[in-house]
């Protein structure tokens, strides 16, 4: 037992020593050559940072504008569905995944000896900085990552606002789910100069907000998710007359792919919200 | 108990539960505030809550419960079998299939009435199928077996349609279509269901005399001038309209049509004709009570109505099967 533990403790040291030696001998191995991404957020970070030919496949969600801010760019890449078999067939030397997505595939790919780097879902602006730096390192594109990070900070500083009167917003999604402050959407709102009513409703971490309570809170603005095709009761809730018909209720806006991931594209959502707030201010 | 007194008592119970339903909800409104908001005022948040959220929910509770109780009593009277219930014999699940098809094909979005009409069509097909399989005087065994088959088949197709839907939320709503819920329903749903439910109730109400005559046997009923084929036609149309409209807006709530007639039968002297009106009122009361309980037990999540009605109804169903077996029917 103890011998085993001692050996297993030494293994990482050995690997590190080996990789330094190999790295010195073969400098090109620092940057992976065939990268496959399984998660809509790593898809976008990789598309922003990879050099031509380095990224060989992105997830199918990357082409869906409801969850991806780079749906157009993703058209240029073959898509995968996060299945171990199809990914292995692409013979990647690096796989990018989310910590909660495609668990089975990630475990299988690791057993097959493929390196998998996982990115956790982010809940704030710091996550964007962390993601950019980490993805830069993973792809061996540190310079590009640093440039994007600088641009992100500049744009963010220009957009960040603290207006005298912060409109109260409800993020109200299918099934009456409201998103709390400690999320990407919460960070977008706070940066753009809005207050999220989730905290007022006693749901600082987000949760189901009954329609009655939403009506009683009377937010200045309601932001809903983008609709999918087909039909569901979950989304039909957003057509309830108590939300839509009444003049007392404010306008309702839908979110898009820019709200989903901790990438610099999140600033598009901030920009949209800042514009909306200005529009609301001049309207009053 | 006298019949008139029973109906008055049940009406009082429905009225009481209706008011309770209006006063219960996640928005903490006081009694005075609620009543004032409901009866007067405009544009304020409390008015919105009372008139657009709670009132349609309570109205749908009454309508749906009455339809279920009435349909159960009518089917049991016609088949002379206490196990006949729209949910158990697959009528509700077939109506749900029709409704789901209308919603997922986009038909309901293009033409609002397509939703109740398709649900009604699903219900008609299943009732005809059941009457064909179980025969005019359905024996318990064939009726229940046919019901299980129809119910399983319609349920499977409903699940398939919802799983194939491009909407990521649709598949999670299989449970709504199977257990039913009144949460966040609006006046849109009330107006959609009301004409069909009213027509269904009017049709079923005309069956009272025929069903009473049928207790003497088919020959005796015909001798009394009852046309059995007409009786069957009216029954099918009435049940399909009531159940179809109910399921289309609130999903399939089971067991009300079983429990309510069973409880009330001894109180109306076992006359199926009288049981109709009593069951309609009793069904409304039971559904309102279930909908109130749902909101009290889990105020912040949507516990399905069918969960509560099944908790009450399923043991009774087992008891009825046991009794039926003992009597050797």
d(CA A171, CA A253): 10
Q: CA A65 → CA A37, A131, A275, B201, distances in Å?
A: 17, 21, 21, 48
CATH (domain of A240)? 3.40.50.1980
* Cβ proximity of B197 and B246 under 8 Å: yes
Of all helices (H) and strands (E), which one includes residue A177?
strand A177-178
Q: Among A93, A122, A156, which residue terminates a domain?
A: A156
Across the A:B interface, residue pairs with CB atoms under 8 Å apart total 88
Contact B165 A241 (CB under 8 A): no
d(CA B62, CA B239): 17
Residues A111 and A51 in one domain: yes
pLDDT band at A3 (very low <50, low <70, confident <90, very high): very low
Residues A273 and A178 in one domain: yes
Ramachandran bin of B90, using left for φ above 0, alpha for ψ from -120 to 50, beta for the remaining angles:
left
Residues A143 and A172 in one domain: no
A212 has a chain B CB within 8 A of its CB:
yes
Contact A211 B53 (CB under 8 A): yes
Q: Among A106, A128, A156, which residue terminates a domain?
A: A156
Residue B226: inside a domain = yes
d(CA B105, CA B110): 10
Give the number of domains in chain B: 1
Contact B106 A240 (CB under 8 A): no
pLDDT band at A220 (very low <50, low <70, confident <90, very high): confident
Residue B34: inside a domain = no
Residues A103 and A178 in one domain: no
Partner residue opposite A213 with nearest CB, options B27, B165, B167: B27
Q: Domain residues for B157? A: 3-10+58-326
d(CA B271, CA B121): 30
Can you tell me the mean pLDDT for A151-164? 91
Residue B39: inside a domain = no
State the pLDDT at residue A28: 42
d(CA B169, CA A231): 8
The answer for residues whose C-beta is within 8 angstroms of residue B193's C-beta and 6 or more apart is B60, B63, B64, B116, B245, B246, B248, B249
Q: Which residues in chain B touch residue A215, judged by CB atoms under 8 angstroms apart?
A: 27, 45, 48-49, 53
Residues A180 and A219 in one domain: yes
Residue B33: inside a domain = no
CATH (domain of B165)? 1.10.3470.10
Helices (H) and strands (E) in chain B, counts: 16, 0
Q: CA A141 → CA A16, A121, A137, distances in Å?
A: 21, 22, 6
Partner residue opposite A208 with nearest CB, options B27, B169, B300: B300
Instruction: Name the minimum distance, in Å, from the CA of A213 to any CA of chain B.
Output: 5
Ramachandran bin of A79, using left for φ above 0, alpha for ψ from -120 to 50, beta for the remaining angles:
beta
In 3-state terms, what secondary structure has residue A59? Answer: strand
Query: Token pair of B250, please?
Result: 């609130």
Residue A96: inside a domain = yes
Q: What is the DSSP string of A22-47?
A: HHHH-GGGGS-SSEEE-SHHHHHHHH
Residue B80: inside a domain = yes
Q: Which residues in chain A touch residue B104, judged by CB atoms under 8 angstroms apart?
A: 230-231
Q: What is the sign, positive or negative, of the torsion defined by CA atoms of B212, B215, B218, B221?
A: negative
Give the number of domains in chain A: 2
Residue A11: inside a domain = no
For the stretch A71-103, pLDDT in tens is 999 999 999 999 999 999 999 999 999 998 788
Flag whether pLDDT at A8 surpasses 70. no
Residues A150 and A226 in one domain: no
State the pLDDT at residue A282: 84
Residues A173 and A148 in one domain: no
Residues A59 and A176 in one domain: no
Q: What is the pLDDT along chain B (329 residues), one digit of tens a residue?
A: 689 999 999 999 999 999 999 999 888 888 888 888 888 876 578 888 999 999 999 999 999 999 999 999 999 999 888 888 898 889 999 999 999 999 999 999 899 899 999 999 999 999 888 888 877 666 777 888 888 999 999 999 999 999 999 998 998 899 999 999 999 899 999 999 999 999 999 999 999 999 999 999 889 999 999 998 899 899 999 999 999 999 999 999 999 999 999 999 999 988 999 999 999 999 999 999 999 999 999 887 889 999 999 998 889 888 888 887 777 55
pLDDT band at A267 (very low <50, low <70, confident <90, very high): very high
Residues A245 and A270 in one domain: yes
Residue B51: inside a domain = no
Residue A20: inside a domain = no
Residue B53: inside a domain = no
Residues A182 and A132 in one domain: no
pLDDT band at A13 (very low <50, low <70, confident <90, very high): low
Contact A233 B176 (CB under 8 A): yes
Residues A134 and A71 in one domain: yes
Residues A76 and A121 in one domain: yes
Q: Among A100, A121, A156, which residue terminates a domain?
A: A156
Residue A55: inside a domain = yes
Listed residue (A203, A181, A182) closest to A194, CA to CA: A181
Partner residue opposite B168 with nearest CB, options A228, A246, A247: A228
Which 234-253 residues of chain A touch chain B by CB within 8 A? 234-235, 237, 240-242, 245-248
In 3-state terms, what secondary structure has residue A94? Answer: strand
Which 293-322 residues of chain B touch chain A by CB within 8 A? 299-301
Residue A23: inside a domain = no
Partner residue opposite A213 with nearest CB, options B26, B44, B188: B26
Partner residue opposite A215 with nearest CB, options B45, B108, B299: B45
State the pLDDT at residue B131: 83
- Indicate the angle between helix axes B55-79 and B3-23, nearest 10 degrees: 150
Q: CA B247 → CA A120, A232, A249, B242, distances in Å?
A: 42, 15, 30, 9
The answer for residues whose C-beta is within 8 angstroms of residue A275's C-beta and 6 or more apart is none
Neighbours of A123 (CB within 10 A): 16
Flag whether pLDDT at A21 surpasses 50. no
Q: Domain residues for A141? A: 29-156
A26 burial level (CB within 10 Å; 0-12, 13-18, 19+): exposed
Contact B186 A246 (CB under 8 A): no
Mutate which: B30, B167, B249, vs A, most A CBs within 10 A: B167
pLDDT band at A268 (very low <50, low <70, confident <90, very high): very high
In 3-state terms, what secondary structure has residue A170? Answer: strand
């Amino acid at each position: 037992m103890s011998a085993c533990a001692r050996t297993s403790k030494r293994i990482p040291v050995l690997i590190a020593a080996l990789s330094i030696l190999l790295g010195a001998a073969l400098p090109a191995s620092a940057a992976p050559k065939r990268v496959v991404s399984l998660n809509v957020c790593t898809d976008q970070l990789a598309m922003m940072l990879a050099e031509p030919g380095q990224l060989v496949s992105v997830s199918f969600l990357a082409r869906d504008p409801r969850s991806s801010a780079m749906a157009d760019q993703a058209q240029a890449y073959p898509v995968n569905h996060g299945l171990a078999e199809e990914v292995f067939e692409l013979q990647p030397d690096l796989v990018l995944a989310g910590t909660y997505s495609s668990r089975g595939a990630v475990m299988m790919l690791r057993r097959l000896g493929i390196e998998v780097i996982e990115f956790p879902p982010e809940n704030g602006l710091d996550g964007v900085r962390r993601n950019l730096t980490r993805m830069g390192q993973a792809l061996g594109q540190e310079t590009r990552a640093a440039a994007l990070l600088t641009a992100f900070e500049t744009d963010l500083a220009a957009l960040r606002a603290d207006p005298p009167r912060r409109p109260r917003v409800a993020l109200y999604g299918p099934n009456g789910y409201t998103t709390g402050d400690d999320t990407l959407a919460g960070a977008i709102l706070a940066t753009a100069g809005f207050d999220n009513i989730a905290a007022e409703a006693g749901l600082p971490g987000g949760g189901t907000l009954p329609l009655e309570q939403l009506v009683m809170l009377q937010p200045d603005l309601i932001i809903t998710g983008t609709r999918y095709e087909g039909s569901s009761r979950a989304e039909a809730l957003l057509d309830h007359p108590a939300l839509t018909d009444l003049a007392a209720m404010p306008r309702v806006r839908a979110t898009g792919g820019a709200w989903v991931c901790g990438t610099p594209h999140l600033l598009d959502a901030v920009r949209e919200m800042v514009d909306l707030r200005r529009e609301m201010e001049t309207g009053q | 108990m006298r019949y008139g007194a029973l109906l008055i008592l049940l009406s009082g119970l429905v009225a009481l539960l209706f008011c309770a339903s209006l006063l219960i909800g996640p928005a903490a409104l006081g009694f005075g505030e609620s009543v004032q908001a409901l009866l007067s005022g405009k544009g304020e948040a409390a008015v919105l809550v009372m008139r657009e959220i709670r009132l349609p929910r309570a109205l749908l509770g009454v309508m749906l419960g009455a339809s279920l109780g009435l349909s159960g009593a009518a089917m049991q009277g016609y088949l002379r079998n206490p196990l006949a219930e729209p949910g158990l014999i697959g009528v509700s699940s077939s109506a749900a299939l029709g409704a789901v098809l209308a919603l997922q094909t986009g038909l309901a979005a293009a033409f609002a009435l397509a939703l109740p009409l398709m649900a009604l069509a699903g219900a008609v097909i299943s009732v005809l199928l059941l009457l064909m399989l179980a025969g005019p005087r359905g024996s318990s065994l064939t009726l229940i077996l046919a019901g299980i088959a129809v119910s399983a088949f319609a349920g499977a197709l409903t699940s398939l349609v919802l799983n194939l839907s491009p909407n990521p939320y649709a598949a999670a709503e299989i449970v709504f279509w199977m257990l039913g819920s009144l949460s966040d329903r609006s006046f849109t749903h009330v107006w959609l269901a009301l004409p069909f439910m009213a027509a269904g109730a009017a049709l079923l109400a005309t069956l009272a005399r025929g069903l009473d005559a049928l207790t003497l046997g088919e020959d005796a009923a015909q001798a009394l001038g009852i046309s059995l084929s007409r009786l069957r036609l009216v029954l099918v149309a009435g049940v399909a309209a009531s159940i179809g409209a109910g399921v289309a807006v609130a999903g399939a709530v089971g067991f009300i049509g079983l429990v309510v007639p069973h409880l009330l039968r001894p109180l109306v002297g076992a006359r199926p004709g009288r049981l109709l009106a009593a069951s309609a009122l009793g069904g409304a009361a039971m559904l309102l009570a279930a909908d109130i309980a749902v909101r009290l037990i889990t105020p912040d999540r949507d516990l399905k109505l069918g969960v509560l009605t099944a908790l009450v109804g399923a043991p009774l169903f087992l008891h009825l099967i046991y009794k039926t077996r003992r009597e050797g029917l």
